């Protein structure tokens, strides 16, 4: 009986630690997403992601406010955002050639980089 209790305790402690590690991983992921965002996106979408970057003024189409991607009461549209970034989405629908095809630009590391940027953007959403 004591052995079983010990095993259960150990399992509980182990799962607690993995939870802590996961939380730390997530924080690191979001931090890396922020760095990539500031390098690759903020010139148009702005440092605060509301669409007011310095290059935005030179474009004929407004740079989308990325803090409003999530609509009230709906899930964060992860796949939509992902395809807008990697270029899978119809080019005309997201700004012709003004929105570079990041899927190509990020090369082999595109999946993790795009995932990090999206998770960072998710933290900026204003709608509950
Ligand atoms: C050269 C300027 C520019 C850069 C750099 C840029 N964008 Fe955009 N982006 C735009 C413009 C302009 C639009 C609006 C297109 C439209 O309304 O058709 C847009 C639209 C979007 C949209 C919404 C697409 C949709 O479905 O309507 C997302 C999401 C987005 N950008 C994310 C990003 C991310 C993430 C980055 C960095 C990896 C980035 N953008 C870099 C100019 C830019």
pTM (global) more than 0.75: yes
Question: Is the CB of 117 within 6 Å of ligand 1?
Answer: yes
pLDDT digits (tens, 9 = 90+) for 51-64: 999 999 998 889 99
Would you state the pLDDT for residue 39? 93
Please give the Cα distance from 29 to 112 (Å, whole number).
9
Provide the CATH number for the domain around residue 36.
1.10.760
Each residue's pLDDT tens digit, 70-97: 999 999 999 999 888 877 776 443 545 5
Structural domain of residue 113, as residue ranges? Answer: 2-123
**Which ligand 1 atom sits nearest the alpha carbon of residue 98?**
1
- C-alpha of residue 44 to centroid of ligand 1, in Å: 8
Domain count, the chain: 1
- The tens digit of pLDDT for each residue in 4-31 reads 666 554 554 555 556 667 778 999 999 9
Is residue 128 assigned to a domain?
no
117 located within any domain:
yes
Distance (angstroms) between ligand 1 centre and the Cα of 6 equals: 54
Q: Which atom of ligand 1 is nearest to the CA of 40?
A: 37
Tell me, in angstroms, the distance from the centre of ligand 1 to residue 66's CA.
8
Give the separation between CA 2 and CA 6, rounded to whole angstroms: 6
């Amino acid at each position: 009986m004591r052995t079983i209790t010990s095993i259960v305790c150990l399992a509980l402690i182990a799962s607690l630690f993995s939870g802590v590690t996961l939380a730390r991983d997530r924080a690191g992921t979001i931090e890396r997403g922020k760095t990539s965002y500031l390098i690759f996106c903020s010139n148009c979408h702005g440092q605060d992601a509301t669409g007011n970057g310095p290059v935005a003024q030179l474009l004929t189409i407004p740079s989308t406010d990325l803090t409003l991607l999530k609509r009230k009461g709906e899930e964060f549209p992860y796949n939509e955002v992902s395809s807008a970034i990697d270029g899978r989405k119809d080019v005309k629908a997201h700004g012709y050639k003004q929105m570079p095809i990041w899927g190509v630009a990020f090369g082999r590391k595109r999946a993790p980089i795009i995932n990090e940027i999206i998770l960072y953007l998710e933290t900026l959403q204003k709608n509950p």
